């Protein structure tokens, strides 16, 4: 991690979906799925799926704040999942699928609370936001087979029916923020794209 890199840990349902979305953003240097917010060290996917560990499926996002701000990342976070359903995202039900932001500093907490107020005032969602804003304690990386899941498993039914439409909607809405596009939203040629 460089001096310019910051970390953000968020949960917004299945980590396969959130990893696929945030990995596309310019300024994001890595996205790692894992578990946070519960009891027990190094939980397994099977343990977390029981809903009894208290851990949420999360992604740990490393980003360059010179290219994308924490405020912008959190604003995007609130558009790519439903922050109004407690312990649920679509058919995924349980505390492991809760909407949560694990803040690492008073500044991250203040930014999270500010973005929640802004999203609430914009009335993007009809119901109140129930996203937890809680101190970061630990992050446990998910098993290797969860990493880069959408890219490695595009033929799987869950990827085709759930993740692909979400990613397509995200790419359309945030075209100007994607890798390979300039800030004006135009795709760069292969010779100029990094």
Question: What is the C-alpha to C-alpha distance for residues 17 and 22, in angstroms, rounded to an integer?
Answer: 9
- pLDDT reported for residue 156: 93
Residue with tokens 């690492």: 104
- pLDDT reported for residue 183: 57
Q: Is the pLDDT of residue 1 over 90?
A: no
164: confidence class by pLDDT, cuts 50, 70, 90: very high
- pLDDT reported for residue 3: 67
Q: What is the CA radius of gyration of the chain?
A: 16
**Of 123, 33, 133, 26, nearest to 79 (Cα)?**
123
70 contacts 8 by C-beta, under 8 angstroms: yes
CATH classification for the domain delimited by 6-177, as one of 3.30.1060.10, 3.30.420.40, 3.40.50.410, 3.40.50.300: 3.30.1060.10
- pLDDT reported for residue 185: 45
What would the pLDDT profile of 60-87 be if each residue is shown by its tens digit? 999 999 999 999 999 999 989 999 999 9
Question: What is the C-alpha to C-alpha distance for residues 18 and 47, in angstroms, rounded to an integer?
Answer: 20
What would the pLDDT profile of 77-124 be if each residue is shown by its tens digit? 998 999 999 999 888 899 999 999 999 999 999 999 999 999 999 888
| 14 is a catalytic site residue | yes
């Amino acid at each position: 991690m460089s001096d310019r890199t910051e970390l953000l840990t968020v949960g917004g349902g299945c980590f396969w979906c959130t990893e696929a979305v945030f990995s596309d953003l310019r300024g994001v240097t890595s996205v790692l799925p894992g578990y946070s917010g519960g009891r027990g060290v190094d939980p397994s996917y099977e343990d977390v799926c029981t809903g009894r560990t208290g851990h949420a499926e999360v992604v740990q996002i490393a980003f360059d704040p010179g290219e994308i701000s924490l405020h912008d990342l959190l604003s995007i976070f609130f558009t790519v999942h439903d922050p109004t359903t407690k312990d649920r995202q679509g058919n995924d039900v349980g505390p492991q699928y809760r909407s949560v932001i694990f803040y690492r500093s008073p500044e991250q907490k203040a930014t999270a609370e500010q973005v929640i107020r802004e999203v609430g005032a914009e009335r993007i969602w009809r119901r109140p936001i129930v996203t937890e804003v809680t101190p970061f304690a630990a992050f446990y990386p998910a098993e290797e087979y969860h990493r880069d899941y959408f890219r490695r498993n595009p033929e799987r039914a869950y990827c085709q029916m759930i993740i692909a439409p979400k990613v397509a909607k995200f790419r359309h809405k945030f075209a100007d923020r994607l890798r390979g596009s300039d800030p004006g939203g135009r795709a760069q040629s292969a010779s100029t794209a990094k």
